[in-house]
Structure 1
């Protein structure tokens, strides 16, 4: 539950076209210990202010010239988009109470104000609002954890596949190509076995940082398990556009790693699949890149192999004719 301090520090906006009512409510809130309170007598300012400030509570008079409280709530609903609408309606009309709740207000305060009622309704509503925000934040954190690798913070396979699908759709619309680069670390198992998993984890985090540093801002760098990473490149014209980036990745990974006084080295092998040349579906592009990676490992490691290279048959060796 939110603490008393969190409740007293919540952001509150008072909206009323009467200067006397505004001043009275501000005085009530200040005496109760609320520290972040503002006001406006212009209902058209409420939505722009809420977009900027994201208030925890809006004390909203329902009867105002120009925009009334019901119209203001309609605008606030568009901002919250299905979230918790933090409106506490202020009204002297008994018939407006149910209408206010139906319009989205979470509660109401009757005019003239009953001090005990005002304090209780404000406190209760702020408690619910702040709890709702805590739960929403927790939900976002859980979603982030579900989509990212906990060690490196990179997107995991689940998020990667979604990113690849988006890149392929964009490539189709723009009539260009996209690349999936599948990386595996050469020599990582030996480091893990010799120096322990803690050192191995540090290596993985450092590799992740280097890969992100080499990639373009629009590229996705993901860890898909163990010592395997995938980089998705969109907006390329041809296979050759991947060669320089791949060379930079190989060079970056090959730089020494200094961990707890130890200087360690490893390298990386890379397989590349091109959309739509090699495959036209998310899973198949990944599979093509994985196959090219296997060929890079098989042919000596610390190198890049493309699906096109695997399809190109070796050229026969021809002897020059012997002079007579």
Structure 2
């Protein structure tokens, strides 16, 4: 639940065409302890101000020249887009009360103001508004967790497949190619078995950071699970354009990793598939990259490999450096 401090620090906008009414409401709010109160006598400013400041509460007079309160609420609905409309209507007309609620206002205050009623309705509305925001943030956080690996923070397989689909669509529209690089860590099981999962987790986090550091901002780096990762490259001219990034990843992973003053070393094997040369669907591209990864493992690990299909001839790139050709893990 929102604390009293949260409620008193909430952002409030007072909208009224009467300077006396604005002065009175601002005084009421200040005396109650509200710290972030602003006002306007121009109803056409309400929507632009709300876009800029995202108010927690808008005290809105319904009868104003030019735009009336009902027209203002219509504009606010477009900004909130189905969210909680933070409008507390101010009206001296009893018939407007139900109309205001039907138009989207969450509550109303009658004029002339009753001080106790004003305090209670404002407090209650802010409490609900802030709680609604907390729940929305929690929902977004849960959604993020559902799409990202909790250990490394990288996209998980579910999000990865969507990212690949988007990359392929973009490549098709712009007549480019795309590359899928499937990575598996050589020697990770030995580290896990020898030093424990805590050390293994630190290794995975370090590898994730290195993969991100070696990739472009527009590329996708994801963890599939265990010690398997995938990097998706958009806008490549062909297989040759994937060789450099793959070699860079192989070299980065082979650098020593220090965990609690313990020096650990491992390497990575990478399988590559190219859209649309090898396949045109997400599943097929992943399968071909997986087979190429198997070929890289079989060829000595610590290297990258590309193959168009299991039955096709293998196209293997040389190891990055002679001294890296033998796996260290």
TM bucket (normalised to shorter chain) is over 0.9
SS at match of 2:116: helix
Deviating beyond 2 angstroms after TM superposition, the runs of 4 or more aligned structure 1 residues are 308-314
Q: How does 1:1-324 map to 2 (within 5 A)?
A: 1-308=1-308, 311-312=312-313
Q: Return the offset for 1:313.
A: 6.5
Cα distance in structure 2, aligned partners of 1:153 and 1:37: 38
Indicate conservation of the 8 Å contact 2:278/2:309, yes or no.
Answer: no
Q: Deviations over 1:122-143 (max 9, x none)?
A: 0111111011001001101100
Indicate conservation of the 8 Å contact 2:307/2:314, yes or no.
Answer: no
Cα distance in structure 2, aligned partners of 1:288 and 1:88: 59
SS at match of 1:88: strand
Q: Deviations over 1:102-148 (max 9, x none)?
A: 11110111111111111111011111101100100110110011000
Q: Return the offset for 1:66.
A: 1.4
Cα distance in structure 1, aligned partners of 2:37 and 2:109: 18
- Say what the alpha-carbon RMSD is for the aligned residues: 1.2
SS at match of 1:181: strand
Indicate conservation of the 8 Å contact 2:288/2:309, yes or no.
Answer: no
SS at match of 2:154: coil
Q: Deviations over 1:124-181 (max 9, x none)?
A: 1111101100100110110011000000000000000110111111111111111110
Alpha carbons of 1:111 and 1:313: their partners in 2 closer, same or farther (altered >3 Å)? closer
Q: Return the offset for 1:309.
A: 8.9
Cα distance in structure 1, aligned partners of 2:271 and 2:16: 65
Cα distance in structure 2, aligned partners of 1:218 and 1:191: 32
What residue in structure 1 maps to residue 321 of structure 2?
Answer: none
Cα distance in structure 2, aligned partners of 1:313 and 1:118: 77
TM-score (norm 2): 0.93
Unaligned runs of 5+ in 1: 315-324
Q: Return the offset for 1:312.
A: 2.6
- How many residues are treated as equivalent by the alignment? 314
TM-score (norm 1): 0.95
Cα distance in structure 1, aligned partners of 2:308 and 2:102: 63
Alpha carbons of 1:313 and 1:170: their partners in 2 closer, same or farther (altered >3 Å)? closer
Bigger mean CA deviation after superposition, 180-189 or 300-309: 300-309
Q: Deviations over 1:61-120 (max 9, x none)?
A: 111111111111111111100000000001111111111111111011111111111111
Indicate conservation of the 8 Å contact 2:306/2:314, yes or no.
Answer: no
SS at match of 1:95: helix
Unaligned runs of 5+ in 2: 316-329
Cα distance in structure 1, aligned partners of 2:35 and 2:154: 39
Q: Return the offset for 1:235.
A: 1.0
Alpha carbons of 1:23 and 1:313: their partners in 2 closer, same or farther (altered >3 Å)? closer
